[in-house]
Structure formats: structure tokens, C-alpha cells
A and B are shown apart, each in its own frame.
Chain A
Amino acid sequence: MRWEEEGMKQNAFIMGNKLMGSNPHAFSLIMPSIPITHTQTPYVTGTSVLGIKYKDGVLIAADTAGSYGSTTRYKSVERLRPIGQNTLVGATGEMSDFQTILQILDRLIITNAMFDDDNTLGPPDIHSYLNRVMYNQRNKLDPFWNTLMLGGVKNGVKYLGNVTMLGLHYVDDHVATGFGIHLAQPIFRNEWNEDMTLEQGTKLLEKCMLVLFYRDRSAINKMQIANITEDGVKISEPYALQTKWDYEAFSNPTVGNEGSW
């Protein structure tokens, strides 16, 4: 009935539907003469996520800060989330877009489960799906302002990769997002090897997270590490790292060169 349709359109307009387009002209039958662009600025953001493969699976680490510009507004944001049985997603960037992506992935997992054919979605499948979601949003000039990291183990195959907000995606043995690309990746390149144990892998990640805490303005000393193995996803409780400030040179750095920094 026509009035129902009108009611639903009104509803959809108010509630909005990001995948349909949040501009009222998206419903218009007349093609607009210029493409509709939405300027998007991130508000509540998460900083780097780090990931490495190790002997038994994949380790991914992130801190729990949600920054609002230069303020650390939220101190307990969970940026690492399990998807299905075998995968973990970590996000950098706008948290509201990440929360929407989690809802989209939820829908994907549930729809897949409804087929009831004992087939579960593994990390490569979810990586591919996320890539399509991010790329299509980017094509509408309305990106999800996130860089997502994906890691998991299924049927003995370890998988680790990234998807950026432009829809660029890649896999590797060790990946990082945000500041981690510049500070942590070089350390990975030097110190990572194929047969790291859980302890060695954790130590490497903690070393890099410490560097990020020292040098990334938006990082805080409260992090979580997720361990994904064939048995499933385990995300640790948030904890803090030991920092080192007691170098002798730190207490009086300008001695002999007064006025310097």
C-alpha cells in the first residue's frame, strides 16, 4: 500500500540506513547532476593494532584507548573482537564505524549459520567480505574510517591481513596499522621468525607496544593481547606494561648543554 511505503521511506530517512545512503536525495528518482559526497571526519578514534603469526597461531595486540581529538576520552574501548569461531578483527580509526562494521559482520555470521550446513566462515572469507564492504563504501565516497586487521587459524592454516578504508587489502606474516606501521613493522622485520613460541611472540608484541606507548601521542599504557589458535580466540584482560624512565641521562638531560632539550 502506498501509505505504508511512504511511512517506511520516512522511517528509513530518519533512522537512516548507511548502506542505502544517508542523503535524502538518494531516494529521488531524478539522477543528481553532481555526485553526492559526504565529508567525514573521525571523532572517536582508536590508535595502532599490531599482529604477528607464531608457531601455533596468530597474536594481535591493541591498547584500549578511544581518543577524541587530542583528549583520551575513553580508557576502556575494546578494539579487538572475535568474529565466529576462528577469527579476530582489530580496528584503528573511527569507533562508530567499527561498531557498524561489527553489526554487519554479525549479520554475515548469522546468515551463514542459518544455512545450517556445518560450514563456518574462516579468516580468508571474512577478509574478502570486509574488503568488499570497505571498497564499496569508498566508491560511494563515504568510507568507513577504519583500518581493520584480521587474524585467525582454520584447518591448520594461519591467516593475518589488513583492510584499509580505501579498500586496499593484503596479507603478511606480520602487520600493523596506524603508528605501528612506522614504529613496530621495522622491529618485526628484524626480529620476527617463523617458529616463535607464544612467549617469544608475546614479548615481541609487548616490546613494540611499549615503543608505541612512548612515542604515540594517543596511546595509553593499557593493552590487550589476543591469541588465536586452532582451539579458538582468547582475548586477555587489559593490563599495563613496565615502563623505563630511570636512565641517568633522563634525570638531567641538559647538563653541559643548558637550554637544550
Chain B
Amino acid sequence: TTIMAVQFDGGVVLGADSRTSTGSYVANRVSDKIVPIHDFIWTCRSGSAADTQAVADYVKYYVDAHSMELGRLPRVRTVANLMRKICYNNKDNLMAGLIVGGWDPYEGGQVYEIPLGGTIMRQKFALGGSGSSYIYGLVDSYYREGMTREECEIFVKKSISHAMARDGSSGGVIRITTIQSTGVQRQCILGSDVCMAMRWNHDYFYHGLNQRLKDG
């Protein structure tokens, strides 16, 4: 798995690959690792699929009740804290690495990472999953402060495609979710576009990307 989230001014971009493996077999090549917790708060899941699905379902249930009682949109911080509570207190029985990304009207776009053990870390961008090891260098050199939404999306696509190229446990399609105050947009980057990392044909790749960006 490779999962990633980047914060920009006014929202977040969440990205993930789509491979679920059972040993050497790819059980699901088009899985969806980005799950909605609330309207503007989504989570990327990595680790045991069962554990992360269970934790996400519980948090979704609690946040649903919480926001109904509150009568407003929940804070991303609250969702992340609930997730952390479950992961920390059940640390002996869970294998879950989660990234919570979302937008709320109080603090704007936020990214929180909850690795194994249940630490909570707020960051400008977060990486997770087995494939993340391969792209720490890329991400460190490519990231800069104050990127726009489009730049963040390119950043996420580029990084995840490089991770998918090298990590056996990551592959398939790249799923991107962009959350802003205006709404949530989901994208799915298929096959040929993911070949960024393979560099079959440098010019075609760049031309194709720019074209696709223009087309939106």
C-alpha cells in the first residue's frame, strides 16, 4: 500500500494506490483505500484491511452521532483524535496505519497521521503504507510550502506512481480525493497515466499530463 495526504490553503489532497494482497496473490486490484468519515473528512487506510475497515466504521459511527449532537460540521482534529483513541487503546490487537485528511470551517485543511502504536502527528503532508519507504527521498526534494491545489495533485500522483513502480505491495490505479470548502472531488488515474514512473516516453508523458490537466 502507498497512501499520502497533502494540505494546501483551503483543503487537502488524499491519494492512495489500489492493491490489496493476500501473501503473493493480489486479492483486489482496484480497492478503494480512501474512506469517507464525514462530508469533508476522509481517511486513507493502510495495514490490515480488516482492522482499518473496523476502526473506520466505528469512527464514522461516533462522528455521525457527534456532529448530529453538535449541530455543526465536526472538526478534523476531533475525528483524528477519536481514531487515535481506538488505535492507541487497542494497540496490542491492531495493525493500522491511518492518515486523516479533511477540511473544517475552523482551521481549514488539515492532515493528521496515526502510525502503528497510536501516536498522532499533525503534518503538512503525510506518507504511509509499505510503498512510502521508497518515496521519502522524492517527497523531501519535491515538496515546497504554499503549493496550490493543482500542484498538490500532481505531487501526489507523481509520488504514488513512483512508489507503485518499486513496491510489490502497491499497484493498480491511483485514487485521488480532493477536499475543499466547495466540495469533494474524486479522481481515478488509470493504467497509462500511472506510467509516469516508468518513463516510457518522456515527451508523451509530459504532453499527456498537461493535456489532461487542461481537460480537468
Contact = CB atoms under 8 A, between A and B. Distances in A.
Interface residues of B, number: 20
A68 interface: yes
Interface residues of A, number: 25
B166 interface: no
B117 A66 contact: no
Nearest to A19: B89
Interface string B89-132: 11111000000000000000000000111111101000000000
A258 B163 CA distance: 40
A54 B80 CA distance: 40
Contacts of A99: 88, 119-120
A43 B86 contact: no
A16 B133 contact: no
B145 to A, nearest CB: 14
Nearest to B90: A16
Task: Identify the interface centre among B84, B89, B119, B123: most chain A CB within 10 Å of its CB.
Answer: B119
Nearest to B124: A76
A16 B119 contact: no
A186 to B, nearest CB: 32
Contacts of B117: 42-44, 94-96
B121 A18 contact: no
Contacts of B58: 14
Contacts of B89: 15-18, 22
Task: Identify the interface centre among A71, A77, A100: most chain B CB within 10 Å of its CB.
Answer: A100
Contacts of B119: 43-44, 66, 94-96, 99
Interface string A25-55: 0000000000000111011100000000000
Nearest to A43: B117
Interface in A7-27: 14-18, 22-23
Interface in A201-251: none
A66 B121 contact: yes
A189 interface: no
Contact of A22 (B84, B92, B123): B92
A10 B93 CA distance: 17
A96 B88 contact: yes
B29 interface: no
A97 to B, nearest CB: 8
A74 B120 CA distance: 11
A77 B113 CA distance: 13
B66 interface: no
Given A74-B121, A96-B118, A40 B88 contact: no
Contacts of B136: 71
Contacts of B118: 96
Contacts of A95: 117, 119
Contacts of B84: 96
Interface of A: 14-18, 22-23, 38-40, 42-44, 66, 68, 71, 73-74, 76-77, 94-96, 99-100
